[in-house]
Structures are given as structure tokens and as C-alpha cells.
A and B are shown apart, each in its own frame.
Chain A
Amino acid sequence: KAGVTQTPRYLIKTRGQQVTLSCSPISGHRSVSWYQQTPGQGLQFLFEYFSETQRNKGNFPGRFSGRQFSNSRSEMNVSTLELGDSALYLCASSLGTAGKAFFGQGTRLTVV
């Protein structure tokens, strides 16, 4: 069974630009969560989607948004990029009901 797939693996963007990251969950998983990982703040929760609905949101500004499609694939978008947005963005999927979370390899975003 294929794992969680995140694309692209690496991105370099300029301040002020926007970016879209993609996550394909494990087949059959309906819940997708996003996390930001930085050396300074560690792993921080961004949001969780289940059945195309955002069920939970972390303490990030409105520049961070996401969505989930009917096939459970998810995208997150960051607008007006800032240098501090440079991080590893991780997606996790689970069956959804008290399930285990499995992470993808992440997308390394660098903002210059």
C-alpha cells in the first residue's frame, strides 16, 4: 500500500509570492492534517480536514489555508510568503476514527 505522498519535495519562493502544496493520503484514509516543522518552533499543527470539511485549525494567520477534495487529497496554500514561512510542511493521513497518523516525507519550502 502506498504511503502518504507530498508534492513537490522542494520549493524555493520569493517573499510576497504564494505557494500551493499537495498531499495524497493513504488509500482509504479520510482525514488529512498539516503540520509545520521548524528548528525554532518544532512541529506545529496547521489544520485538519475530514470529508472535505476543516475540523480543526491551529494558531496560524489567515495567509495559511487549505482544502480537501472528494477523493481525500488535500492542498494547502500560503499567500504573501514571508521569510519566516520557510519550513518543512508535513501532511499526515489517518482513517479518521481514532486512527493512527502516518506522515509523508514533507515539502521543504524556502522563502528568499
Chain B
Amino acid sequence: GENVEQHPSTLSVQEGDSAVIKCTYSDSASNYFPWYKQELGKGPQLIIDIRSNVGEKKDQRIAVTLNKTAKHFSLHITETQPEDSAVYFCAASIQGGSTLGRLYFGRGTQLTVWP
């Protein structure tokens, strides 16, 4: 099955700096790559996603890039704020037909933004 690796496991940045989290996947059939943010005591919250026919997607301070050839994708957060502190998960999935498809998750990155 699919294997998703995520780095780094912890990341500390100063407020206002940028943060980058990287993931690799193994199955070239994967075509959907969401990113989730999980705060303490809450469920994962979808923050951005990208499909395999797109190389980059941006939503305000958050952007995701995808390199299908190298099988890696990255999350970029600019102008970080203390409220960005959380655990971030990348995931990969094969979507098609009428089902969502199983999400394969990375192990997560604990991001801490210091004021």
C-alpha cells in the first residue's frame, strides 16, 4: 500500500517567519493530497488540498506544492502567527469513482510559533 513520510517531526519558528513541511509518497497512483491541522483536543481540520493535475495551490498565507515526478509535496506557511501552532498532517489518497478513498497519513509535524 501507500507509504507517506513526513519531515520534520517538530518545527519551531519565530512569529513572522515561514515554515515548510515536506512529505513524500510511494504510490504513483495517488492523485489527491490534503493537509490537516490538528489542535489539542480537536479533530484534524482540512486546511488545503491539491490534486495531481495541479502543481501549486495557494490560499492566503498557506500554499502547497506538488512534484509528481519526485513524488513529494510540501506545505508552506508564510508570516506565521502563534495561532498557527498545532500538529500538521499530510495525506495521500487515490480518489475515483463514488468513494472518498482511503487517506494515508504522515506521522505529523508539531509546529510551534514563538511570539
Contact = CB atoms under 8 A, between A and B. Distances in A.
Nearest to B45: A103
Nearest to A95: B100
Nearest to A29: B100
Contacts of B106: 42
Contacts of B104: 45
B46 interface: yes
Interface residues on A, range: 20 to 34
A32 to B, nearest CB: 9
Given A42-B105, A100-B34, A100-B49, A94 B100 contact: yes
B82 interface: no
Interface stretch (B19-27, B36-44, B57-65, B67-75): B36-44
Most B-side CB within 10 Å, residue of A43, A90, A104: A43
A55 B44 contact: no
A98 B46 contact: no
Given A43-B103, A98-B32, 15 more contacts: A33-B103, A42-B106, A42-B107, A43-B89, A45-B102, A48-B102, A55-B99, A56-B101, A56-B102, A96-B99, A97-B98, A98-B96, A101-B103, A102-B46, A105-B41
4 smallest beta-carbon distances between A and B, as pairs: A103-B43, A43-B105, A94-B100, A98-B95
5 contacts: A92-B100, A97-B97, A101-B100, A103-B44, A104-B43
